[in-house]
Structure 1
Amino acid sequence: MPEINHKTYIKVPLEDVYQSISTAQGWNAWFTDDTSLEINPDGTGEIRMRWTNFGSEHVTIEDGGRIFEAVPNQKFVFQWSPGEQSSTVTIKLEPYKDGTMVTLNEIGYTNSVKDLNACIGCAVGWGEALTLLKVYLEYGIVYKQDL
């Protein structure tokens, strides 16, 4: 089955990256418009992501699902449904040089036309998203309004 894999180096501490991917305020600062999430003490929870006026077609997109694992400064794993069925996004953080290596993996797509289209879109989208996260955390630049 198709799988998405990305890796990028961000020259900020693990704690800053984790804060940006494990809180609604963090997601909304660099990528989404109205994300809400709740993490339970056991590291599970729910995430709802929302983009308004998104892309060249200026659509509103809402998605989200369960948070399977939220391990501070190490890992954030959640489910969403950009395709035919739910997929799982795993974001791992590791110390690297004087910053953080961010590894993103998404699995769960089938070979259906709808899933393959979603996989291709998300493969590009996650690459762009990690670039937005890097630029936001390293330079304080927010560039989400024109996506």
Structure 2
Amino acid sequence: MKKLAFDEFTKKIYVKAPMEKLYECWATSQGICTWFLRNAEYSMADGSKREPLEKIQKGDKYVWEWHNWDAKATGEVLEANGTNKLAITFENNIVSVTLETQKRGVLVVLRQYNIPTDDESKLNVHYGCSNGWTFWLTNLKAFVEHGILLNETEIDLTNIPLAGFEFVNM
């Protein structure tokens, strides 16, 4: 058994949906905005923007914006095979998503790694992102399987200092 550590974490969830649909939910700006982000823009190496349904490619740059969060995340697509695997830089870490066909659905495996192990990173990245991804993977399952969203999009939580740590549906 692999030992738990602060420099990485893995989250898994089974989703009953076609792999193609799940990959689209991760690898297109339109798809990722249905269940996760307020806005996502992907740019190719030459600076031109990808279309909303166009799949990301290795080397693309991204800008992400959340509901109820003023910050923007920027990064690079490190891997995108077009079917079942992608990886991005995420702040100073790497997030990979792998989709594995199983008997009763698709296993979504998210791994965030290369996390610094200073106290601030343990709190904000390991604890914060680990909790966040647990919710967002649940939101993905709820959306894909049942057509509902669990995240808050109507109430403004941006002025609550600890909202990201206290609200489970940020």
Does the TM-score normalized on the shorter chain lie above 0.5?
yes
Contact kept in structure 2, 1:44 and 1:70, CA below 8 Å: no
Instruction: Give % identity.
Output: 25
Larger Rg: 2
In structure 1, runs of 5+ residues without a counterpart are none
Residue 124 of structure 2 corresponds to residue 114 of structure 1: no
Q: 1:23-34 maps to which residues of 2 (within 5 A)?
A: 23-34=28-39
One of 143, 147, 164 as aligned partner of 1:140: 147
Contact kept in structure 2, 1:4 and 1:106, CA below 8 Å: yes
Residue 85 of structure 2 corresponds to residue 70 of structure 1: no
Deviations 1:82-125 (A, max 9, x none): xxxx1000000111114211001000111112211121100000
| More strand, by proportion | 1
Q: 1:1-147 maps to which residues of 2 (within 5 A)?
A: 1-38=6-43, 43-52=58-67, 54=68, 59-81=69-91, 86-118=92-124, 119-144=126-151, 145=153, 147=170
Q: Structure 1 residues 92 and 39, CA, compared in 2 at 3 Å: closer, same or farther?
A: farther
Instruction: Report the residue type matching 1:13 in the other structure.
Output: P
| Counterpart-to-counterpart distance in 2, 1:7 and 1:141 | 20
Contact kept in structure 1, 2:57 and 2:77, CA below 8 Å: no
Instruction: Report the secondary structure of 1:35's partner residue.
Output: strand
Give the superposition deviation at 1:37.
Answer: 1.8
Larger RCO, structure (CA 8 Å, separation 6 or more): 1
Q: Does 39-48 or 12-21 show the bigger shift?
A: 39-48
Deviations 1:117-140 (A, max 9, x none): 121100000111100001110011
TM normalised by structure 1 equals 0.86
Tell me the C-alpha RMSD between the 2 structures: 1.8
Instruction: Report the secondary structure of 2:39's partner residue.
Output: coil
| Counterpart-to-counterpart distance in 1, 2:39 and 2:64 | 6
Instruction: Report the secondary structure of 2:116's partner residue.
Output: coil
Give the superposition deviation at 1:61.
Answer: 2.4
